[in-house]
Chain A
Amino acid sequence: MKFKTLLAAGAAIAFSTTMASAATLDDVKAAGKIKCGVSQGLPGFSNPDDEGNWSGLDVAFCRAMAAAVLGDSNAVEFTPLSAKVRFTALQSGEIDVLSRNTTWTATRDNSLGLEFVGVNYYDGQGFMVRKDLGVKSATELSGAAVCTNTGTTTELNVADYFRAQGMDYTVVAFEKADEVVAAYDAGRCDVYTTDRSGLAAQRVKLADPEAHVVLPEIISKEPLGPAVRHGDNQWGDIARWTLNAMINAEELGITSANVDEMKGSDNPSIKRLLGTEGSVGADLGLGADWAYNIVKQVGNYGEVYDATVGPNTPLKLDRGVNALWTQGGILYAAPVR
């Protein structure tokens, strides 16, 4: 018992020391770059391109932060992290921001010493089956063998769903997405389940993509978003408003192409966002042109979406719920004023 107390005390000290070094903004400015944790390769969200540069939706968020804080979207040091080490890396200060398709959940937000700053992609877990099975709904999947990844919420969601429906199932779980797809393609299981964005990404790799169908049910909410260390509110604000700025810029019609002329706009909302009026940038501890740099160098949310995962990319993901609230989606950013 005593040993446990000692251990807990040690852990508390360890965590308190990391929290003591609270001013991430100062550290980042001193280092001249943001340390950003991304995935080890998730199509469209974070993956290296042919030139060896990181690209993707999650990557773009880190670049936007670098543009806002340092004025240079390339001042990012990417650290690829596995699902297992991502939170420890953030707690230990190995990275400044975690942008790694991480689902925002209560446990993660409240007990892991991290803070989610928003949602940059609303995802949900879905099922894919072969068309020739004739299955039209997930409620008909009783007794199915389900292929999934180990160690993610996916596996737990499947368990919850099948138990709630009172259906039997067998899990066939693998470590890597490639293995799961290969197993499903080889017929080792009837159902492939993961986030719907993942289903879309992997579907093109199947032998005959047209022979498979994604079932309409979405069995979980997966709000994916960036997270920062708990306890540094200024840095958290910067991250939150970086995301808000990208979404607001799309809503206001500011793109990387027209941001320069928009600077002369009379619209007070645009003026406040681009820093020609008000003191939003200074309040964040940044320059007045923080949002201008984001949009100029990285683009607004819609531009980034279209370039990384949108309908014209191989992933072909429709905006769906990730459209702006004005266009039937649920993206709704707090106003800059």
Chain B
Amino acid sequence: MSKAYVNDERHPDLPPPASTVGAVGWMREHLFSSPANILMTVVSIGLLAYVVPPMVSWLFTSAVWSGGADACRANPDAACWTFVGARFDQFVYGFYEKTERWRVDIMLILLFAGIAALVYEKTPGRKWIGMFMLIGYPILSWIMLLGGDWGTPNISLYNVIVVLLPIVGIALLSYDRLPSARTIGIVLTAFYLLAIALLLGLTAAGKTELWIGSTVIYSLVRLDTIIITLIPFLGLFALTKSGEMERRGTIGIAMLVVFAILVLGFFFDLPAPSSLDMTLVDRVVVVSMVEVPTKQWGGFMLTLVIALTGIVASLPLGVLLALGRRSNMPAIRVLCVVFIEFWRGVPLITVLFMASVMLPLFLPPGVSFDQLLRALIGVALFSAAYMAEVVRGGLQAIPKGQYEGADSLGLTYWQKMRLIILPQALKIVIPGIVNTFIGLFKDTTLVLIIGLFDLLGAVQASIADPNWNAKSVAYTGYVFTAFVFWVCCYGMSQYSRYLERKLHTGHKR
């Protein structure tokens, strides 16, 4: 009798068939799983074999890495990296003053450090760094890059009035019995009518200024004379019309904002009414650096300035516009729709061209804005319109129940948007937002047509140097530009994918 064989321990797992594991298995599954797949694999490998070796040879192995233009002329069928080396500073800084380039370096280092700190999640004080990068950094870079003298303005009669007016306004507003509002309205109406009469009278008399003795008391060309008289008038007129205190608060804040703009306007030396220009206290200069006019800005630095301004300005503006477009208030809705459709309806080239070339034709002589500033405003408004539509898409994707839920909690409009709707809506449209950013980043090259040399412009201008007239120079320059743009855009897109994964909360289908 044979002994019964009983296996008292589990048979060890057999290894999977050799053909399904390791490199072979992977290839069988992914590259050669079906005839179509095999065909595609073979074609792809063939294509790579056809393209990659000459590319590697052109880019690296036979490329010119040292020597001058002669070395490149001698080797016309390979990249001329010495050209990029010789012109690297120009590609980064454009025509920026050579002795002042450390300022750009500092801002670039700050920028990259800031971005790194924001991307890395465990950075202490990340919120504050974010605030700084959004608000402090742009101001700081403007000061650092432009240079010149920065400090307190001259304290003039104008400043005093601009500072005192809102204080008086607040005092009036906080005084809850305001029966004289109607009287104020009448007085101001009379005042403004007088101003208009003066304006018309001067125009009719063919003069631009009204003099008493040797003091100019009213000047036509100073646009803000009119604005200054108009704004408080409008504000207080609105006050007399509205009895509710909450409204008054809003109007008061609006007036404050306008005055703040006027103060800033003086700070940046916009024209002020000359009669008020009397200096009481001389200005105190805090920082003094060599001024580098924006005409000299260029290269990658300019690309970054334009792209980052557009990006930083377009998101908040776009959110506001999107909310405005879905607002229940007809005036705001119409304004936003008109704004968005106007900017979406014109090409960016037109915007830049109008801003840089046509605008000065319509401004009074002597009044001019900085060329770059004009371009920046154009780019920011343009991208804000696109951003608004992207954000609106997100807002529409949020189910109505979310809005109603927020309402039923008794949240105000802004609470509802800030706490419930926007966090969800913005998360949905991250790909769209980043898409707009990337588009904007690449659109910065269009500033070339208004005479600003961004990275591409700097490269193209350098190619024209007859001392670098080798055949490969142009190709090398363009390849370099393409690589820099690819790195930036791919970086943005990778970060957006990471953000999507991080914020993914289970709604993904």
> Contact residues of A with B, CB < 8 Å?
14-15, 17-18, 20-21, 39-44, 47-50, 52, 77, 79-82, 84-85, 88-89, 91-94, 176, 178, 182, 201, 204-207, 309, 313-315
Contacts and interface: CB of A to CB of B under 8 A. Distances in A.
A49 B337 CA distance: 48
A92 B466 CA distance: 32
Interface stretch (B114-122, B251-259, B362-370, B417-425): B362-370
A205 B95 contact: no
Contacts of B471: 205-207
Contacts, number: 110
Contacts of B461: 40-41, 47-48, 80
B131 interface: no
B457 interface: yes
Interface in B88-103: 89-90, 94-95, 98
B465 A49 contact: yes
Given A17-B365, A85-B451, A94-B357, A50 B467 contact: yes
A43 B469 contact: yes
A201 B466 contact: yes
A14 B362 contact: yes
Contact of A207 (B76, B95, B357, B464): B76
B474 A94 contact: no
Interface of B: 73, 76, 86-87, 89-90, 94-95, 98, 293, 295, 353, 356-358, 360-362, 364-366, 368, 371, 448-451, 453, 457, 460-467, 469-471, 474
Nearest to B368: A93
Nearest to B478: A178
A52 B462 CA distance: 9
A205 B357 contact: no
Given A20-B365, A94-B357, A52 B467 contact: no
Given A17-B364, A80-B461, A205-B474, A47 B466 contact: yes
Contacts of B470: 204-205
A319 to B, nearest CB: 17
B449 A82 contact: yes
A47 to B, nearest CB: 4
Contacts of B95: 48, 52
Contacts of A309: 466
B462 A94 contact: no
Contacts of A204: 73, 469-470
3 closest cross-chain pairs (CB), A and B: A41-B464, A41-B461, A43-B466
Nearest to B90: A52
Contact of A178 (B76, B364, B371, B474): B474
5 contacts: A14-B362, A21-B365, A77-B293, A80-B451, A94-B371
Given A48-B465, A93-B360, 20 more contacts: A14-B361, A17-B361, A17-B365, A18-B361, A21-B365, A40-B451, A40-B453, A40-B457, A41-B461, A47-B462, A47-B464, A48-B90, A49-B467, A50-B86, A88-B361, A182-B474, A204-B470, A205-B470, A309-B466, A313-B466
A39 B368 CA distance: 23
A41 B295 contact: no
Contacts of A18: 361, 365
A41 B462 contact: yes
A51 to B, nearest CB: 8
Nearest to A94: B360
Chain B contact surface mostly: helix
Contacts of B465: 41, 43, 47-50
Given A40-B460, A44-B466, A85 B86 contact: no
Contacts of B466: 43-44, 47, 201, 309, 313-315
Contacts of B464: 39-43, 47
Nearest to B365: A21
A104 B359 CA distance: 27
Contact of A92 (B295, B357, B462): B357
Contacts of B362: 14
A47 B87 CA distance: 13
Given A20-B365, A201-B469, A206-B471, A88 B463 contact: no
Contacts of A14: 361-362
Contacts of B474: 178, 182, 205
Nearest to B93: A52
A103 B54 CA distance: 43
A84 B449 contact: yes
Contacts of A207: 76, 471
A50 B86 CA distance: 7
A104 to B, nearest CB: 22
Nearest to B69: A314
Nearest to A95: B451
Contact of A79 (B98, B449, B451): B451
Nearest to B96: A52
Q: Pick the most buried of B73, B463, B464: most chain A CB atoms within 10 A of its CB.
A: B464
Q: Pick the most buried of A47, A52, A77, A309: most chain B CB atoms within 10 A of its CB.
A: A52
A44 B465 CA distance: 7
Nearest to A79: B451
Contacts of A92: 357-358, 360-361
Contacts of B356: 85, 94
Contacts of B371: 94
A93 to B, nearest CB: 6
A207 B475 CA distance: 13
Contacts of B94: 52
A50 B83 CA distance: 9
Nearest to A308: B466
A85 B448 contact: no
Nearest to A314: B466
Given A17-B365, A94-B360, A314 B448 contact: no
Nearest to A77: B295
Contacts of B293: 77
Contacts of A315: 466
Nearest to A202: B469
A180 to B, nearest CB: 12
Given A18-B365, A47-B465, A89 B357 contact: yes
A44 B467 CA distance: 9
A35 to B, nearest CB: 9
Nearest to A201: B466
A245 to B, nearest CB: 26
Contacts of A89: 357, 451
Contact of A85 (B89, B366, B449): B449
Contacts of B76: 207
Contacts of B460: 40-41, 176
Nearest to A44: B466
Contacts of B467: 49-50, 314
Nearest to B464: A41
A7 B262 CA distance: 33
A50 B87 contact: yes
B245 to A, nearest CB: 46
Nearest to A21: B365
Q: Pick the most buried of B365, B466, B469, B471: most chain A CB atoms within 10 A of its CB.
A: B466
A17 B362 CA distance: 9
A41 B463 contact: yes
A41 B457 CA distance: 9
B469 A85 contact: no
Nearest to B359: A92
A178 B462 CA distance: 13
Contacts of A178: 463, 474
